[in-house]
Amino acid sequence: MADRDRGPVVRMADLGPAAGVAAKRPVACGVVSGGNRTELERRVVRAAGVALAERKFVTAIDVLVGVGWLQPAKVAEWRQGRVDYLERAVIASLGKISTAMRCFRAWARARGLKPSETAYVARTRDRRPLRFSKTGDPEIERADRTHWVSPELSDRKRARLAERQSRPPQLVVISPVNDFTCSACGSLSEGPLMMEDAGPVCLGCADMDHLVFLASGDAALTRRAKANSRLSAVVVRFSRARKRYERQGILVEEAALDRAEAECLADEEARARRRERDALRRGDQDLELQARMAAEIARLFPGCPVERAQAIARHASVRGSGRVGRSAAGRALDHDALELAVAAAVRHEDTPRTRC
């Protein structure tokens, strides 16, 4: 990302109290204008709209990820305290970032969204505050960590959302693929580790070696063990095939795990009945999504037969498939997402296949 200290610096005009931060954010040369600005505004509005439809609130991070300037993997590294400030990971000039943030906040105010300041702390033992900007200016930091919440939510739900978003994030423990040397004690280890500023740290040096491992698979047991444990951590392992970290389970106190197992045995039948009801509810939701998606596909492509639109919608919206219809954009009936689903259907069903 462009250095704030490089190039001529100008001050943006004051856009009012809610956007006062725009005047404090220095902008390097290369301010967005004309047709490029219009295109950027369109991308910002689309990214913000998709996030709002999905979660009923939207953040500056959602916009930066949505327009393609910030990779989710870099956000994860920043949350783990491995990136000094988030701007370092954004692949856009300060002029573009400033313009995008002004467009985002103007859009949020025009939609009547409610600002909610949220704390961001690192997934480290010291829980230090995370920084968005290189300068660390208080007004810039406050604006960037502010979430914009849908006015459809009641005051109670907004308060609960703000409380949930401000909770300290779960600690992350890595199950290493190879042996490592602990940066604290210098010993060679093959067990779980935590990443600190100085490097990998074994659980003994992190004062977490008394925790026991609970593998993923039982959501109720995991939830209750975590709630009963004063200290817990998520265990992840890097998948070389998928090129990403995948959750393996959690570390919790042994007494908390014993108590959680007893609680799960006590209400096993009630949870089984609840699972059946949830399965029926999800089935109804899937049918409703397929109907809305098919209707929108038929509207976007008037020449598409109704039966074909319904088939495309069923295929694209299969739960757990990872297809475009199950993405946030697909469930929000974003036109680009639906066009991708139609294009995929045409490519797989109507394009002649040739053998090499």
Whether residues 258 and 316 share a domain: the answer is no
- Residue 91 is assigned to a structural domain of this protein: yes
Positive or negative: CA dihedral 276, 282, 285, 287: negative
- Residue 234 is assigned to a structural domain of this protein: yes
- Residue 256 is assigned to a structural domain of this protein: yes
How high is the pLDDT of residue 156? 85
Whether residues 160 and 21 share a domain: the answer is yes
- Residue 279 is assigned to a structural domain of this protein: no
Q: End of a domain among 165, 198, 227?
A: 165
Whether residues 26 and 147 share a domain: the answer is yes
Counting every residue written for the chain, the total comes to 356
- Residue 157 is assigned to a structural domain of this protein: yes
What are the tokens at 217?
Answer: 């698979």
Q: End of a domain among 146, 165, 184?
A: 165
Whether residues 123 and 156 share a domain: the answer is yes
Whether residues 224 and 251 share a domain: the answer is yes
Rg of the chain's alpha carbons, rounded to an integer? 24
- Residue 38 is assigned to a structural domain of this protein: yes
Whether residues 109 and 37 share a domain: the answer is yes
How high is the pLDDT of residue 37? 82
pLDDT tens sequence across 30-74: 455 556 788 999 999 999 999 998 889 999 999 999 999 999 989
What values do phi and psi take at 21, rounded to 5? -65, -30
| Range(s) of the domain holding residue 297 | 284-349
How high is the pLDDT of residue 25? 56
Whether residues 33 and 93 share a domain: the answer is yes
- Residue 130 is assigned to a structural domain of this protein: yes
What are the tokens at 221?
Answer: 């047991």
Element (H, E) at 202: strand 199-202
Whether residues 23 and 152 share a domain: the answer is yes
How high is the pLDDT of residue 81? 83
CA–CA distance, 30 with 10 (Å, rounded to integer): 11
What are the tokens at 3?
Answer: 């250095």
What is the separation of C-alpha 33 from the centre of its chain, rounded to a whole number of angstroms? 30
- Residue 276 is assigned to a structural domain of this protein: no
* Mean pLDDT, contiguous 10-residue spans, the chain (356 residues): 33 35 46 71 93 92 95 89 90 89 94 91 85 90 93 85 79 90 89 85 91 93 94 92 90 95 92 91 94 94 93 93 88 91 91 66
Whether residues 150 and 54 share a domain: the answer is yes
How high is the pLDDT of residue 263? 93
What is the total count of domains within the chain? 3
